[in-house]
Amino acid sequence: MARKGPDYAAPVRRILVSLLVLVLLAVFLFWQIDSPRAERMRAAFIDRFVPSFDWVMAPVTKLSRMVSGFQSYARLYEQNQELRRELQKMAAWKEAAVQLEQENAKLLAQNNVRIDPALTSVSGVVLTDSGTAFRQSVLLNVGARDGILDGWATMDGLGLVGRISGVGQTTSRVMLLTDPSSRIPVTILPSGQHALLTGDNTALPALDFIESPENLRPGDRVISSGDGGVFPPGLPVGQVALASDGRLRVRLAADYGRLEFLRVLRSHPAEQLSDTGLLIPPPPADFIGPPLPPLADMQAAGENSEAAAGAGDD
């Protein structure tokens, strides 16, 4: 140690510490300059080390969930009453759902619709939390090995949860909709307006860039709009809610706080119409006017007219 050594040890130590700080700041600058590469290295590091601690994480997680499950026994009576009330409401909803299902089947049969087969999914288990209160993300145990790509949408059983940001070989990180840097284009349904769902590290992400907020009401359905081409359109996100600060926010449909199994939707980018000029080909340059009919048509037309003339002779 430096303090036991002779006189020159302290300055040497000071220089070494300054060098260490400089190296760390250089690492930070490298992250700042070549962010994609640094993030790939981070994903590779997490991929290498975090799954190997699964054996210690899984039992502790299970145990703490069991404890919290045990605590909920204390509220058993209240929960029972609550469930009875909800069951009564559900009976009415079930009737409505059956009617809607019949109507839906009828309409689908009339339209001969096939639901998009491109929308398949990969399921994964949540490995770790983000570990800090300032970022909202989870780590899944599926990765590039399972064909996961950056930007794919992730759902739990109920609604959109977030999108993939960062893929390792066997793990991938899901940035949740509540993360401060999450921006998702959405459509608000009865009015059909477009908006941007902006996470701000609160439980209810905000709606930005709404054209006419007076047309929205709390309770309107919010779905993903598919603008930008990465997200499939029509995934349920949640409901509009008016927050106490007067902003329009979204109460998320996904069961945040109990994300255990997530589905990553394989989405393929929609075909882009980049050049509208190709849709209507320009006429050939050497001839101005309506194009000539093809030769075969002209001959057939000639025969027809001859036949017609012959018929006229009789």
Partner 1 sequence: MIDPARRRRFLGQALFVALFLAILFWRLLPLAPGRIGWPGPDLALCLVLVWVLRRPEQVPVATIAALFLIEDILLMRPIGLGAALAVIVTEAARKREPHWRELPFMVEWLRVATLLALMMVANRVLLAVFFLPLPPFGQVILQFIATIAAYPLVAGLAGWALGLPRGRAERDTRHR
Which residues are near partner 1 by CB under 8 A? 1, 3, 17, 20-21, 24-28, 30-32, 38, 42, 45-46, 50, 53, 56-57, 60-61, 64-65, 126-138, 161, 173, 176, 178, 180-181, 200-203, 254-260
Q: Least separation, in Å, of the C-beta of 66 and partner 1?
A: 12
Question: Nearest approach, Cβ of 20 to partner 1 (angstroms)?
Answer: 6
Q: Which of 139, 153, 157 lies closest to 185, judged by CA? A: 153
Alpha carbon distance 258, 239 (integer Å): 19
Nearer to partner 1 (CB atom), residue 35 or residue 299: 35
Residue placing its CB nearer to partner 1 in the complex, 37 or 85: 37
User: Nearest 5°: phi and psi at 217?
Assistant: -130, 150
Nearest residue (CB) to partner 1, 260 versus 306: 260
* Shortest distance, position 2 Cβ to partner 1, whole Å: 9
Q: Tell the smallest beta-carbon distance from residue 243 to partner 1 (Å).
A: 14
- Identify whether the C-beta of residue 155 lies closer than 8 Å to the C-beta of residue 263: yes
In the complex, minimum distance from the CB of residue 213 to partner 1, in angstroms, rounded to a whole number: 24
Nearer to partner 1, 128 or 225 (CB): 128
Q: Of 163 and 173, which has the nearer Cβ to partner 1?
A: 173
Q: How many Å apart are CA 24 and CA 70, to the nearest integer?
A: 46
Residue number, 58 or 90, with CB nearest to partner 1 = 58
Closer CB to partner 1, residue 65 or residue 268? 65
Minimum Å gap between C-beta 245 and partner 1 is: 13
Smallest gap from Cβ 289 to partner 1, in A, equals 60
